[in-house]
Structure 1
Amino acid sequence: MHVQPGQVPLFRRGYRLQWEATQNGYVILYPEGMAKLNESASAILTLVDGNKSVAEMVTELQARFPQAEGLEEDVLEFLALAYAQKWVVFRD
């Protein structure tokens, strides 16, 4: 899937983001198990609320990480991967 900046991601039914103290980080919980996320994935997925567009998420991330270059492309690529993993879907 080619993700567009205007699209709005949300977690797929049965999937959720959660902080796990035992993992010392965020994880995606889903019916078949769990995936531990790295810091970059966590920063992106904590902004997924079903209301913010990808462009709005990128704006927030750029404010939080002003030194980061190529942020929009990285976010678009990651969300395409999250879609392929079935973690997120996009509102119509």
Structure 2
Amino acid sequence: MSTISDNQDNASISTSDVYAVARHYRFQWEEAQQCYVLLFPEGMIKLNGGAGEVIRRVDGQRSVTDIVADVQSAFPDVKDIQADVIAMLELAVEKAWLEKRS
């Protein structure tokens, strides 16, 4: 399970980290797919509902703490949503869909 860490290491995301969608991707709602997607020159990545909700909050200005709080506020009945948000961010960073801004 992933957790928020105030430490800077390769295995975790810091609460103060700020991310943006990587330059070679474009995030958008795709009406034909009825989901959020990441577009890139060679294709498209369909994001499930939860992933889309997390990535749509990544704007290059909000910290990880802000994103987690916003998702928790939008989905107050979901248990342990913080861990899910962090896991999604870690996956997106690992896949190079997101890049760190600060």
Report the alpha carbon displacement of residue 3 of structure 1 after superposing the two structures with TM. Answer: 1.2
> What residue is the counterpart of 1:72 in the other structure?
82
User: Which structure would you say has the larger RCO, counting Cα contacts within 8 Å and 6 or more residues apart?
Assistant: 1
Name the CA distance, whole Å, in 1 between partners of 2:49 and 2:15.
Answer: 21
Matches within 5 A, 1:18-37: 18-37=28-47
* TM-score, normalising length: structure 2: 0.84
Is 2:72 the counterpart of 1:62?
yes
Gaps of 5+ in 1: none
**Count of equivalent residues:** 92
Identify the match of residue 51 of structure 2 among 41, 48, 53: 41
Q: Secondary structure at the match of 1:23?
A: coil
Name the CA distance, whole Å, in 2 between partners of 1:51 and 1:63.
Answer: 18
Q: Secondary structure at the match of 1:29?
A: strand
Identify the match of residue 15 of structure 1 among 25, 31, 39: 25
Root mean square deviation of aligned Cα:
1.1
Give, as a single letter, the amino acid of the residue that structure 2 aligns with 1:68.
V
Name the CA distance, whole Å, in 2 between partners of 1:89 and 1:70.
Answer: 25
Name the CA distance, whole Å, in 2 between partners of 1:4 and 1:73.
Answer: 13
Q: Secondary structure at the match of 1:40?
A: helix
Name the CA distance, whole Å, in 2 between partners of 1:54 and 1:68.
Answer: 18
Deviations 1:11-56 (A, max 9, x none): 1111111111111111001122110010000100110100000110
